[in-house]
Amino acid sequence: MSQSKPQHLNTLLDLDRSQLESVLALAAAIKTEYKSMGPSDALKGRTAAMIFEKPSLRTRVTFEAGMVQLGGEAINLDPGQISIGNRESVKDVALCLSRWIDVIVARTFSHKMVTDLAKWATIPVINALTDLHHPCQALALGQTLMEKRGKLSGLRLAFVGDGNNVANSLAELAAHLGMHFVLACPKGYEQNPEVLKTLDPVFKKNGGSYAVTHTASEAVAKADCIYTDVWVSMGEEAQAETKKKQFSGLQVNAELVAKAPADCLVTHCLPAHVGEEITQDVMDSARCVCFDEAENRLHAQKAVLLTVIGKR
């Protein structure tokens, strides 16, 4: 195996702007090609190891299907069986997997788990979600907005909800591509200050902007896209009732959407808690592109796989 430094994807800041644009362009090309020609053998003989500590539908299916449709294979490693960090150190797991397979796809609670895997692995490590970032979700949104709007630069993205991992990755997408990002959240639920400190020069360099408000109607007033996510993330179940009360004024419903421009899109990373952060009528409306975004998870992740494995 090659000993050259692998291309990881722990956050979108692991890519520069041109690389990010290339991944999105590749995702679009893959989608078109797959619809017309079907599976390929681009990753024939290649194997992905998947470590998923958190439940998953979209991420697991799209990574596994993506590898298969590109001619490769995916091995799901039961976290209870490998007990990474307990039965065996993260370093030893990373070094062993590096001798056997071609890429590690990790969905973990701790972001440090993914960065530690990347520190020791001599193969690419892809963040399939941590408590701090969800870069593949942001890539799928980027692909979806390109399809619907034809550009990303200058678009206004309103995230209505908790300043969580999805919000962090969407802010990174916006910073890289010159978008205007605004977070609407209750006081005390703003994004991680360290994340924002890192993003500030990126926004300035690329002509975008960042803002935070505690009023949903203010956030969506000029939005091209409204994004929302569950109020209670995995691992926060003990805070459920408290958070539901604090976020109750931030529901994405017909009344809120009516305060946005007439062509404003709405989306959700899914799964949705319908009746909490979003209503069924908005989910069912022509404005909502959450299932287009879910479809694009497959193609965006294929683009990531081809990009990082192709670096070796």
Residues 148 and 163 in one domain: yes
What share of residues in the chain are helix, strand, coil (percent, to 5)?
Answer: 50, 15, 35
Q: How confident is the model at residue 312 (pLDDT cuts 50, 70, 90)?
A: very low
* 87 catalytically annotated: no
With respect to residue 7, please indicate whether it lies within any of the assigned structural domains: no
Label residue 145 left, alpha or beta by phi (over 0 means left) and psi (-120 to 50 means alpha).
alpha
Tokens of 36: 């017309």
Whole-angstrom distance, CA of residue 23 vs CA of residue 170: 16
Instruction: Clarify whether 111 is annotated catalytic.
Output: no
Same domain (yes/no): 160, 266: yes
Asked if residue 205 and residue 104 are part of one domain, the reply reads no
Could you tell me if 61 and 97 lie in one domain?
A: yes
- Which residues 6+ apart lie within 8 Å of 102 measured at CB? 43, 46, 47, 48, 72, 123, 124, 309, 312
2 domain-assigned: no
Q: Annotated catalytic residue: which of 58, 111, 133, 134?
A: 134
Give residue-wise pLDDT tens across range 4-24: 789 999 999 999 999 999 999
Q: Which two tokens stand for residue 187?
A: 């006081």
**Count of CB atoms within 10 A of residue 108's CB?**
22
Q: Is 269 among the residues known to form the active site?
A: yes
The pLDDT mean for the chain works out to 95
**Which of 229, 251, 264, 301 is the catalytic position?**
229
**Residue in 269, 290, 299, 301 annotated catalytic:** 269
Task: Work out the average pLDDT over 183-193.
Answer: 96
The predicted pLDDT at position 89 comes to 93
Element (H, E) at 103: strand 103-107
pLDDT value at residue 311: 53
Q: Report helix, strand or coil for 95.
A: helix
**pLDDT at residue 307, as a whole number:** 97
Q: Is 46 a catalytic residue?
A: no
Question: Which residues are registered as beta bridge partners of 183?
Answer: 159, 212
**pLDDT in the model for residue 93:** 96
- The verdict on 284 and 246 lying in the same domain is yes
List the one residue out of 115, 43, 47, 40 whose CA is nearest residue 75: 47
* DSSP line for 245-299: HHTGGG-B-HHHHTTS-TT-EEEE-S---BTTTB-HHHHTSTTB-HHHHHHHHHH
pLDDT of res. 85: 78
In this structure, what CATH number is given to the domain that contains residue 277?
3.40.50.1370
Residue 144 is assigned to a structural domain of this protein: yes
Do 109 and 50 share a domain, yes or no? yes
Q: Which domain holds residue 32?
A: 12-133+297-309
With respect to residue 40, please indicate whether it lies within any of the assigned structural domains.
Answer: yes
How many structural domains does the chain have? 2
Residue 86, pLDDT score: 83
Report d(CA 166, CA 71) in Å as an integer: 30
Q: Is 19 a catalytic residue?
A: no
Residue 3 has pLDDT above 80, yes or no: no
Q: What is the mean pLDDT of residues 67-82?
A: 94
Give the side-chain half-sphere CA count within 13 A for 74: 22
Given 288, 297, 299, 301, which residue is catalytic? 297
Same domain? 174 vs 255? yes
What distance in Å separates the CA atoms of residue 254 and residue 259, rounded to the nearest whole number? 9
Which of 101-105, 130-134, 241-245, 282-286 comes out lowest in average pLDDT?
A: 241-245
| Active-site residue flag, 297 | yes
Catalytic residue among 60, 107, 111, 180: 107
